[in-house]
Amino acid sequence: MKEILNLLQNDARLSAQDIADLTNKSVAEVQAIIKRLEADGVILKYTAIINSEKLEQGINKKDKCQAVIEVQITTERGYGFDVVAERIYRFPQVKSLYLMSGSYDLQVIIEGESLKEIAFFVAGKLATLSGVKSTKTHFILKTYKENDVIYVDAKKDIREGVSA
């Protein structure tokens, strides 16, 4: 089962036949395992990883803006991290949400059309939620690697020129 999950994580486009060939299982066995993993909620979604910097201008390219927000929570009787987290992850701007150890409690990754839109979201929606003590926003300027995928072109000569 773990071998099948690893193969799908690396390339979700693999067919059941491809996986069967790689794992020495029958196609029916692979299909049954995948179906069970989906039904059990182990496999949640199949997706494509897009390098937005490489999108052609003619495809209505809009540069999305992303930010990582550190959130400190004040827990009160009757609700804890899970209650506040549920309020936060319901916003469509929120792409990921993690409970963290360390100096802050939640890490929120959001996406918007502009820095201003994200700032308004943080100030008007996130920071005003009951239980949110403080926020600290970090804007993502460039992605080098995400989900084990390297975004930058390999083997660029980054040496500086020398002039005499």
pLDDT digits (tens, 9 = 90+) for 7-64: 998 899 999 999 999 999 999 999 999 999 999 999 998 888 777 777 654 455 566 8
pLDDT of residue 50: 75
38 in helix, strand or coil? helix
Tokens of 143: 């992605």
How large is the average pLDDT for residues 97-108?
97
Cα–Cα distance for residue pair 73/14, rounded to 1 Å: 42
* Host H or E run for residue 121: helix 115-121
pLDDT of residue 102: 95
pLDDT digits (tens, 9 = 90+) for 52-75: 777 654 455 566 899 999 999 998
Residue 98, phi then psi, degrees to nearest 5 = -130, 140
Whether 163 shows a pLDDT value over 80: the answer reads no
Percentage of residues in the chain with pLDDT exceeding 90?
66
Residue 68, phi then psi, degrees to nearest 5 = -110, 125
Count of other CB atoms within 10 angstroms of residue 126? 22
pTM, 2 dp: 0.74
Residue 82, phi then psi, degrees to nearest 5 = -60, -40
